[in-house]
Chains A and B, each alone.
Chain A
Amino acid sequence: MANKKIEIPKINVVPILDAVFIFIFFLLNNTQIMDFFQITTSKPVIKDLQQIPPYELKGKFFKTKLTTENIQVTQDVTEKVVNTFSWTPEGMKDLKTFLIQLKMKNPSEKSMVIKSRGDVKYKRIVEVIDTVQSKDVPEYKDGLFRNIAFEEMR
């Protein structure tokens, strides 16, 4: 009787270890040390919006026009400039604030055309896309303007 009390029940960890090893093997197979993410875009706008008959046009046609000097936000087919921003960190913050306000006024708008001059660098364009698609605004968790298309500035 005394012996039975002293005996401590031991846990058999062998099956747990087996499972852990299989799990590690599975994870190792699926692990990439470098992380990659994607920005979803549409193919470049081929039609010139001014050539499309007005009755076919719907929405506000927001565009972000990029040059090496500044960023302009335009609306309508006529590309009426509504605001201009610089490429400085402060300018980018102002652009974000402005885009949040724009989204609040037009909650159904989900698209933004990035119209860029040929000499603007891709790094800059990604910076603008990050701002246009900002997901840190609680009201718009899917991003401010989710759909991105590109257009060339002639």
Chain B
Amino acid sequence: MSKAHYSMSIYQKKFKCIKNKRLDNEIDITSLLDVLVILLFFLVLNYNPTDLEISPVSNVKIPLSLNREYGNRAVLIQISKDKDFYIGSVFAGSLLSEEGRLSIKDKLQSAYKIQAEQFSKMNQEMTKTHHMGNMNIMFDEELAFDSMNDVMRLAAANGFQHFKLIVMPGKTHE
């Protein structure tokens, strides 16, 4: 025990001890709050209010655009530079072969049916933003217009009417 401790009154000793005990129990959360604020800031910056979920396949390079219109969930198709056709991220067939085209047609029809089922279960609020026959399309940036046109015609022939071209934010002009 220190000299100072002996010189203290009983009252002082009692309250000093209690005060010290209280201090020991406190956790300093300032640093934790700092981290949380930074995390919150980062998350708010990256927050996307839509239900658009996209998992791009590795061989599709999405073009950059100045467009900042948020998308909604719909049937997603992806077309690579080599004209491989994906529904969601599942390979559906190649546009170059007749067999592939038939397989794509079948899968588009079943995707349309699934969308119709989902649409019938949607509440009224959702139907304002989600339309029957909506399709999100991700073309590879190197794809030529005749392939784009071919895909859109194929989709239109299977019931899809509204096409949304999915792009990534960025400057296009070189």
- Partner-B contacts on A (CB < 8 A): 13, 17, 20, 23-24, 27-28, 30-44, 66, 89, 92, 116-123, 125-127, 129-130, 133-135, 150, 152
Contacts and interface: CB of A to CB of B under 8 A. Distances in A.
Nearest to A16: B33
A124 to B, nearest CB: 9
A8 B172 CA distance: 58
B71 A38 contact: yes
B145 A39 contact: no
A27 B47 contact: yes
Contact of A35 (B44, B146, B165, B169): B169
Contact of B144 (A24, A44, A119, A126): A119
B84 interface: no
Contact of A36 (B66, B71, B172): B71
A121 B144 CA distance: 4
A89 B173 CA distance: 6
Interface residues of B, number: 53
Given A36-B54, A117-B145, A130 B67 contact: yes
A34 B62 CA distance: 11
B46 A31 contact: yes
B172 A118 contact: no
B128 interface: no
A34 B140 CA distance: 17
Interface in B93-139: 136, 139
Contacts of B144: 118-122
A37 B40 contact: no
Contacts of A43: 152, 155-156, 160-163
Contacts of A13: 29, 33
B40 to A, nearest CB: 7
Contacts of B152: 43-44, 150
A150 B67 contact: no
9 contacts: A24-B39, A36-B71, A37-B71, A38-B167, A40-B162, A43-B156, A120-B145, A122-B63, A134-B66
A102 B135 CA distance: 31
A130 B145 contact: no
